[in-house]
Structure 1
Amino acid sequence: MQDKVTFEYAIIRLMPKVEREEFFNIGVLLFSKRKKFLDIKYHIDPKKLAAFSCEITLDELTEYLKAWESICKGAPHGGEIGALEVSDRFRWLAASKSTMILCSPTHSGLCHDPTTELEDIFQKYVL
């Protein structure tokens, strides 16, 4: 267990009509301070999207999530948020929002490899 590191994650949810409080999981955001790791993995099922809303396009949502990817990577086009420390970027992305893309409460755990853990959580909660 000595080689394990702590991590935190949040499930990314799509809630097309906030007032209805109906959502489905579209991704995972995972952060490990010790590994200086922050990444996102997402998939939007077009059939689920069509069942939830005909007003939002897959392209629109993909553009929003690409912005989240830029923030995770600390890319220059990630704006002011992308320039923050890794932990601050995670906190900003995982913060409670009243938008159609939001996150679950954060959860924590121990892992050997954050990339593998991200994939495992993604498979379990999104696909």
Structure 2
Amino acid sequence: MPHVFEYAVLRAVPRQDRGEFMNVGVLLYCAPQDFLRCKTQVIDDRLRALDPEIDLDLLHDSLRLWCGACDGSTTAQVKTTSLGQRFRWLTAPRSTLLQTSPTHTGFTEDPAGELDRLWQALVL
């Protein structure tokens, strides 16, 4: 039986003033399945084309922290919140190097497979 899921695309935004971004990952939350995960891939050279001075170490560290918040591998206090609260916190609007798209919804029987499908379609 299909379950409702929500997802958002992770975007690297090297320079806020230019509004350019590159998709670097996907967050997917499926409450009925207690599923919250992210999948990422950064192509450093493409981001340097947008901004040669981008702090790629900061971006990679931020992505590791976000994915850790999703799968619970982080030691940060966010680990004590519910998966829904974490998803809402991660997808809240912000003006930083790492941002999310608006959230979208769908139906799936396989959240992990859906995450992989979205990652391939929207990031790769």
Q: CA deviation at 1:24?
A: 1.1
Q: TM-score, normalised by structure 1?
A: 0.92
Gaps of 5+ in 2: none
Deviates more, 1:50-59 or 1:87-96: 50-59
Deviates more, 1:28-37 or 1:41-50: 41-50
Q: Is contact 2:108–2:114 with CA below 8 Å preserved after alignment?
A: yes
Match of 2:30 in 1: 32
SS in 1 for 2:24: strand
Gaps of 5+ in 1: none
Alignment of 1:85-100 (within 5 A): 85-100=82-97
Write out the 4+ residue segments of structure 1 that deviate beyond 3 Å after TM superposition: none
Q: TM-score, normalised by structure 2?
A: 0.95
Aligned to 1:75, which of 67, 70, 73? Answer: 73
Q: Is contact 2:65–2:74 with CA below 8 Å preserved after alignment?
A: no
Between the aligned residues of both structures, percent identity stands at 39
Deviates more, 1:57-66 or 1:7-16: 57-66
Matched, 1:52 2:71: no
SS in 2 for 1:19: coil
Q: CA deviation at 1:69?
A: 1.3
CA distance in 2, matches of 1:18, 1:76: 28
